[in-house]
Amino acid sequence: MCYWRQWRKPRTKVRSLMKLGVSERLAIACGITSKGPCRSSKTKGINIALGTNYLASQGLVSLRDIWINIHYGR
Protein backbone atom coordinates (compact mmCIF):
# COMPACT_ATOMS: atom_id res chain seq x y z
CA MET A 1 0.00 0.00 0.00
CA CYS A 2 2.88 2.36 0.73
CA TYR A 3 4.34 1.97 -2.77
CA TRP A 4 0.92 2.59 -4.30
CA ARG A 5 0.55 5.83 -2.34
CA GLN A 6 4.07 6.94 -3.27
CA TRP A 7 3.38 6.66 -6.97
CA ARG A 8 0.34 8.99 -6.74
CA LYS A 9 -0.32 9.73 -10.45
CA PRO A 10 -1.82 7.11 -12.81
CA ARG A 11 1.00 7.51 -15.35
CA THR A 12 3.60 6.81 -12.68
CA LYS A 13 1.63 3.78 -11.45
CA VAL A 14 1.44 2.31 -14.95
CA ARG A 15 5.13 2.94 -15.64
CA SER A 16 6.21 1.44 -12.32
CA LEU A 17 4.04 -1.64 -12.72
CA MET A 18 5.46 -2.24 -16.19
CA LYS A 19 9.02 -1.94 -14.83
CA LEU A 20 8.15 -4.64 -12.29
CA GLY A 21 7.06 -7.10 -14.97
CA VAL A 22 3.32 -6.55 -15.42
CA SER A 23 1.95 -6.62 -18.96
CA GLU A 24 1.01 -3.29 -20.50
CA ARG A 25 -2.73 -4.01 -20.64
CA LEU A 26 -2.88 -5.16 -17.00
CA ALA A 27 -0.70 -2.26 -15.82
CA ILE A 28 -3.00 0.26 -17.48
CA ALA A 29 -6.08 -1.39 -16.00
CA CYS A 30 -4.57 -1.29 -12.50
CA GLY A 31 -2.95 2.12 -12.83
CA ILE A 32 -5.95 4.16 -13.94
CA THR A 33 -8.43 2.70 -11.47
CA SER A 34 -10.23 5.01 -9.07
CA LYS A 35 -10.19 2.42 -6.29
CA GLY A 36 -8.33 3.21 -3.11
CA PRO A 37 -5.05 1.52 -2.14
CA CYS A 38 -6.65 -1.08 0.14
CA ARG A 39 -9.11 -2.23 -2.49
CA SER A 40 -6.53 -2.05 -5.28
CA SER A 41 -4.11 -4.25 -3.36
CA LYS A 42 -6.25 -7.29 -4.18
CA THR A 43 -5.89 -6.91 -7.96
CA LYS A 44 -3.85 -9.31 -10.06
CA GLY A 45 -1.46 -6.74 -11.51
CA ILE A 46 -0.39 -5.34 -8.18
CA ASN A 47 0.05 -8.80 -6.70
CA ILE A 48 2.29 -9.76 -9.62
CA ALA A 49 4.44 -6.63 -9.28
CA LEU A 50 4.56 -6.28 -5.51
CA GLY A 51 4.65 -9.94 -4.50
CA THR A 52 6.33 -11.39 -1.46
CA ASN A 53 9.59 -12.05 -3.34
CA TYR A 54 9.89 -8.41 -4.39
CA LEU A 55 9.08 -7.11 -0.92
CA ALA A 56 11.59 -9.50 0.65
CA SER A 57 14.25 -8.27 -1.77
CA GLN A 58 13.49 -4.72 -0.60
CA GLY A 59 14.32 -5.75 2.97
CA LEU A 60 10.81 -6.11 4.38
CA VAL A 61 10.11 -9.02 6.72
CA SER A 62 7.11 -11.31 6.49
CA LEU A 63 4.76 -11.21 9.47
CA ARG A 64 3.79 -14.80 8.63
CA ASP A 65 7.41 -15.96 8.99
CA ILE A 66 7.82 -14.10 12.27
CA TRP A 67 4.63 -15.66 13.63
CA ILE A 68 5.75 -19.15 12.61
CA ASN A 69 9.10 -18.63 14.36
CA ILE A 70 7.41 -17.46 17.54
CA HIS A 71 4.64 -20.05 17.52
CA TYR A 72 6.64 -23.14 16.56
CA GLY A 73 10.02 -22.04 17.91
CA ARG A 74 12.01 -22.78 14.77
What does the alpha-carbon distance between residue 22 and residue 45 come to, in Å, rounded to a whole number? 6
Spatial distance between the Cα atoms of 40 and 64, rounded to a whole number of angstroms: 22
C-beta separation of 14 from 31 below 8 A:
yes
Cα distance between residue 46 and residue 66, in whole Å? 24
DSSP 64: H
Closest CA to 3 of 15, 23, 13: 13
Q: What is the pLDDT of residue 1?
A: 54
Residue 74: the pLDDT is: 62
Q: Mind listing the pLDDT tens digit for each residue in 7-65?
A: 999 999 999 999 999 999 999 999 999 888 889 889 999 999 988 888 899 898 989 88
